[in-house]
């Protein structure tokens, strides 16, 4: 698996859960290479040169999912939008194996995986290359002393702003009110504008939404999901993909 070379704090927790089954390990050993992005790791690309996305996706718009969990949302989006390129970044080994299992039945040519820290990926994504980014039920780091570990902090939002195109969309789903508050406070500092026009815009999921296992867990515990949409520039609601 890809090594993480970061001198600062992680915004995610553990990278491995319960022991992998023999089949799951086989997915990682035999199938991950077919779906992986090239020249992303520090070993492959120590000078951090931008990767050539056009060679992979042609002239398609590209969407990035940060922390895809088990891949439910990522796979559905890639299936429903075959002319759009999708990149999923996930450091959790069990989640990567779960996504690879789903891909056994779906040979999606418009999807690539980065099995590691998305900050390493953002280092080498070309400026203005991402049309839509999804951050769905990220690790909430609920204790106040851990809030600086959340993704929605300056050390992560600066690189995210760089890779987003000028009219790009960022979508965040969370069941933690304080995480939503922090996102609403921090993203505008980096040129992102919240597009909500009515309460339904953050209470109702987006079109083609697939409820992930993290959301189902939140609902079982009576936590209320928040769905936030930001744009790098103000655009009409009808133009949001």
Q: Would you name the residues annotated as active-site residues?
A: 139
Nearest residue to 37 via CA among 82, 73, 89, 80: 89
CA distance 241 to 238: 8
Q: Which residues of 64-96 are buried (b: 16+ CB within 10 A; e: fewer)?
A: bbbbbbbbbbbbebbeebeebbbbbbbbbbbbb
Structure tokens at 238: 């009808």
Count, residues in the chain: 241
Nearest residue to 137 via CA among 74, 61, 231: 74
Rg (CA), the chain: 17
CA distance 138 to 66: 8
CA distance 120 to 82: 26
Helix, strand and coil in the chain, % to nearest 5: 40, 15, 45
């Amino acid at each position: 698996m890809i090594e993480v070379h970061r001198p600062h704090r992680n915004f995610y927790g553990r990278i491995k859960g319960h022991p992998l089954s023999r089949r799951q390990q086989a997915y990682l050993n035999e199938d991950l290479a077919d779906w992986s992005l090239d020249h992303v790791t520090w070993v492959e690309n120590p000078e951090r040169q931008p990767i050539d996305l056009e060679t992979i996706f042609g002239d398609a718009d590209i969407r990035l999912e940060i922390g895809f969990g088990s891949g439910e949302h990522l796979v559905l989006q890639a299936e429903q939008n075959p002319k759009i390129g999708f990149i999923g970044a996930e450091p959790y080994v069990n989640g990567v194996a779960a996504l690879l299992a789903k891909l056994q039945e779906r040979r999606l040519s418009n999807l690539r995986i980065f099995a590691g820290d998305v900050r390493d990926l953002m280092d080498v994504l070309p400026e203005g290359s991402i049309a839509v980014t999804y951050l769905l039920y990220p690790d909430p780091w609920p204790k106040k002393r851990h809030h600086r570990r959340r993704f929605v902090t300056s050390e992560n939002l600066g690189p995210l702003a760089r890779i987003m195109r000028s009219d790009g969309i960022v979508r965040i789903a969370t069941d933690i009110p304080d995480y939503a508050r922090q996102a609403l406070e921090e993203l505008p500092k980096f040129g992102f504008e919240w597009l909500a026009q009515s309460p339904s815009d953050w209470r109702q999921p987006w079109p083609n939404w697939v409820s992930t296992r993290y959301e189902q867990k939140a609902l079982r515990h009576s936590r209320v999901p928040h769905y936030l949409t930001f744009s790098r520039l103000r655009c009409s609601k009808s133009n949001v993909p």
